[in-house]
Chains A and B, each alone.
Chain A
Amino acid sequence: GEDVEQSLFLSVREGDSSVINCTYTDSSSTYLYWYKQEPGAGLQLLTYIFSNMDMKQDQRLTVLLNKKDKHLSLRIADTQTGDSAIYFCAEKTGRRALTFGSGTRLQVQP
């Protein structure tokens, strides 16, 4: 079945860029997503990208998609302490449900 993998933890200093990586196995994925989960909160959709795109930028967020390698990344520029959270990569194929990764905990140090 489909699988989505992420590294578990990333620590950066405030003001640096953060890059969170994700790999997936389903080559027919149509949409790929990044969700943010703050402590005690739900899953907040940050951004998504179509599989026929290779980059999407939205303010401090840049999503890069390498479809050949099935690799997705989320870059957060000028990372702030408020960006500390768990970031989930997810993929969707057609009408099937989202498949989530395990989440990457981002810790931003002042």
Chain B
Amino acid sequence: EPEVTQTPSHQVTQMGQEVILRCVPISNHLYFYWYRQILGQKVEFLVSFYNNEISEKSEIFDDQFSVERPDGSNFTLKIRSTKLEDSAMYFCASSQVNRDGDRELFFGEGSRLTVL
């Protein structure tokens, strides 16, 4: 069964460093997403991406964050200068429009980011 894959599974970084989290969405999907979950808190929406541009973003997704689809398969989230509060599990998701007209999201297993 096709799945969304994410790398790395866990990254530890120093505050102020740049981090790139990588995702390979399901191959025929057109919509891509990043969510994050701070330990013990809700899963929060960060950004959605369609047709090579951001289609929606939350207040969390400030100028420190950027997304890119550098080739036909990868979808990346970059955090330019990490802060302690960026420590979280970051989930990538992708979707296609299903027969009900809904976008059913398929999530990866997450990348745990620890900022020291």
Looking at chain A's contact residues, is the secondary structure mostly helix, strand, loop, or mixed? strand
Task: Please give the residue numbers on chain B whose beta carbons come within 8 Å of chain A beta carbons, in ascending order.
Answer: 4, 33, 35, 41-45, 48, 55-56, 58, 91, 93, 100, 102, 104-110
Say how far A4's CB is from chain B's closest CB, in angstroms: 8
Report which A residues bind B (CB closer than 8 A): 4, 30-31, 35, 40-45, 48, 50, 88, 90, 92, 95-103
Contact B100 A45 (CB under 8 A): no
The distance in angstroms between the C-alpha atoms of A92 and B45, with both chains bound, is: 12
Q: Which residues of A contact B106 (CB under 8 A)?
A: 45
A97 to B50: give the CA distance in the assembly, Å: 13
Contact of A97 among B58, B91, B100, B110 (CB under 8 A): B58
Give complex CA distance A101, B33 in Å. Answer: 18
Please give, as numbers and ranges, the residues of chain A lying within 8 Å of B104 by CB-CB distance. 45, 48
> What are the residues of chain B within 8 A of A99 when measuring CB–CB?
45
